[in-house]
Chains A and B, each alone.
Chain A
């Protein structure tokens, strides 16, 4: 009895120690993950915040040799390209994911789509730019916002498709049966029950894809090209924040370097704000509670 209780106490002490050790490790890992993000953000603020002023948000770039100027056209341009990309990429990505999870189980076509999506996910973004350049830009004989949007849309699709499929796979089969048992057709069950149940995860996937392409420069170099002036037309070359940052960062002028830092800061804040906004709106109307 005595020996037993003593050994149990020992075990207890060891378990507690192991528990602290593992908890400590995961906290450490979390901190290591957050440090780069915080560091980048602070460095951007340190380097870029001083160049931020009203003109930065309202003016187009100043000609070489002239002070001032801003990136208003690039911010609007990025917004237009990302809107076009999301308009195409999100529905196609989600629809493909729904097919994979709800209708394509065990079918050869589904396996092919899954494989293609994974390969597409690994295609370097510069290759995507060149491909769209030869497919759209050369045929249209000019660079355009539309071509940039298409390039980014194609980059968004695989991430969204795979996340949608994985999130739908976590929806219990019993919930689908509940809907089917009520005489709800299969397509309606897939959209109004499965997809709705999985929507928080799918929205996260869409935001990840959005955030990833929002900062892409390479696919835009050969498609949207960039523009020093205002442009709101899909058929014309358009400015984008990453392109403008790129152009300013490799320029020989100190003033432009400072503007590039400011542009990088604005880009990262824009991404953070849009991701947060979508999350807030997506959570509206969702009832809390239960499993």
Chain B
């Protein structure tokens, strides 16, 4: 089951570049939350702070509180523990090129030393079904390399890979921006189904996509969160002039 996320006074830097400024936000459990805003506004940095991927860059740092349920992820846990509880799907599909489809899906388990065959088999089937890819690949699980799939299939495999470690939160950084419209709609359908079980945070450039999949939407601009509200309100009756300008296409 998903878990809610509470963000208090989150600040992040790349070198001397202050990319996130005083972000305060509550992301409810088992809902999809969309983050929109122009390129470079800090939405990607924000999601990368939620699983501590931000700090893998040596010049990056972050301050503030991020609570996942009761756990303060910057105080009470190591980055490795946090990333096992928070799955991430990236902008471009990034399968492990040397691994079969099967090994890609359970890589999170296998690379952490898990070896029980029966449970691995079950996990592969469950995750691929959740990612709506099972029917397409079930016959070549171990025969084909993960990298031999089409772009849309690869992305769904990456979603299955993230789900295989049984996370509570799923972060998606523009998961469909490199895909064709058919694959995009498959990914959106998936998000729609998965949000009953996971807390989903999705960064998107596509405002229709935010409107279709997310209950809540946050608008980022220049490292600040300008507005956060129900998606319906953001798109029909935004409080802030800048939000209105952005969603009506006046800039960005």
Contacts and interface: CB of A to CB of B under 8 A. Distances in A.
A174 B84 CA distance: 18
Interface string B53-70: 100101000000000000
A289 B94 contact: no
Interface residues of B, number: 35
Interface in B88-113: 88, 90, 92, 94-100, 107-108, 111-112
Contacts of A289: 144-145, 147-148
A193 B97 CA distance: 9
B162 interface: yes
Interface residues of A, number: 27
A186 to B, nearest CB: 8
A183 B165 contact: yes
A158 B56 CA distance: 29
A106 interface: yes
Contacts of A199: 98
A184 interface: yes
A192 interface: yes
B53 A182 contact: no
Contact of B83 (A180, A192, A196): A180
Given A105-B58, A184-B112, A192-B111, A177 B98 contact: no
Contacts of B100: 287
Contacts of A179: 96, 107, 111
Contacts of B147: 289-291
B101 to A, nearest CB: 10
Contacts of A105: 58
A182 B146 contact: no
B96 A197 contact: yes
Given A175-B94, A184-B112, A193-B111, A290 B146 contact: yes
17 contacts: A105-B58, A179-B96, A180-B56, A181-B51, A181-B162, A182-B112, A182-B161, A184-B112, A188-B112, A192-B111, A193-B111, A287-B98, A287-B145, A289-B144, A289-B145, A290-B95, A290-B146
Given A178-B161, A181-B90, 5 more contacts: A178-B96, A182-B83, A183-B112, A184-B107, A192-B111
Q: Which 9 A-B residue pairs are closest in the complex by CB-CB distance? A: A290-B147, A183-B84, A289-B148, A182-B108, A183-B83, A181-B88, A174-B94, A287-B145, A290-B148
